[in-house]
Structure formats: structure tokens, C-alpha cells
Amino acid sequence: MFFLKSLPTRNVLIEYKKRFPNMDIEAVESALNLLRQASLLERHLDAYFSTQGLSQLRFLILIVLDRENRKASLKSSDIADRLDISRPVMTRTIQALEKAKAVRISEDEFDGRAKVVSLTDCGRSILYNSLPGYYDIIRDFMERNRDSTVS
């Protein structure tokens, strides 16, 4: 999350450019605006997911499992790699999703040490019920910020 609420003015960036000649003012300005917009969107999504009994991470795990529906299940380590999160965080989150009956955890038939995770009907229902609001938030956010987005 990006916490800088008040972005530096162009004059401030010009002053930094004097001290740091390799600085690209336009690139820094664009990146800071992009980070700020992404942070605002993330906050909107966090608030929405909390109304759905989800977190962004739980939502993303359900998405990964759903989009890979050609496979019956995925190893939790594969899900962690797709989301770029640590194994311990993945383990705790998947256990919480199992407790909520959104996923099923079972032994890998080829590797007894590994666990595989599959999406349950309940999990798919939770995901599909949350997707319309998720897409609405993204659409509304992009419409409000269309002129300020970086191209």
C-alpha cells in the first residue's frame, strides 16, 4: 500500500532533479500518481471484500483455483507461487478457507508430503457472488480516474 497522500509538486521534483540529475521528472511523477491510484483502488477493494467475508488474499486464492478449473486441484505451493506470497501465509489462509468450507485440502496422490487444494461448490459460490461487485468497483474506479491514469 502506498501511504503518501500528498504527492510532491512539480516544483519539488524540479528541485530534486537539480540534486539528482539522473532523475526523470515525468517518470517519477507518473509512477507516484500510479502508486497513489493503485493504493486508493486497493482500499476500495479491501472495504468491499470485508463486506463479503473475504480478504484480497482469500479472494485471489479462490480466483486462482477457479481459473485453473481444468485441474481438479493445485498444490498450495503452486498457489503461493502464483500469488507471490510466503508458504506460511498461504498455509494459514488456506486453513481458514477450509474452515469456511470454501476449499478442500487433501493429500497429493503422487507426493504424500504435499497437500493439494481444490475449490468447493461453496467456495465457487462465494467467489461468483463477490465478482459482480468486484467488477463494478474496478469499472467505477477506472471511469472516475480515466483522465488521470498513466498511459
Q: Going residue by residue through the chain (151 aa), what tens digit of pLDDT does each one get? A: 677 778 999 999 999 999 999 999 999 999 999 999 999 999 999 999 999 999 999 999 999 999 986 666 788 888 988 998 888 899 999 999 999 999 999 888 887 778 889 999 999 999 999 999 999 999 999 998 876 544 4
- For 83, residues 6+ apart whose C-beta sits below 8 A from its C-beta are 57, 60, 61, 64, 90
Q: What is the pLDDT of residue 71?
A: 65
Q: Which CATH architecture has domain 10-148?
A: Orthogonal Bundle (1.10)
Cβ proximity of 9 and 2 under 8 Å: no
Q: What is the pLDDT of residue 151?
A: 44
Q: Distance (Å, rounded) from C-alpha 114 to C-alpha 107?
A: 6
DSSP helix/strand/coil, 80: helix
Q: Helix 25-51 crosses helix 10-19 at what angle (to 10 degrees)?
A: 130
Assigned C-alpha cell, 98 = 477450509
DSSP helix/strand/coil, 7: coil
Assigned C-alpha cell, 58 = 482469500
Q: What is the pLDDT of residue 150?
A: 47
Domain ranges of the chain: 10-148
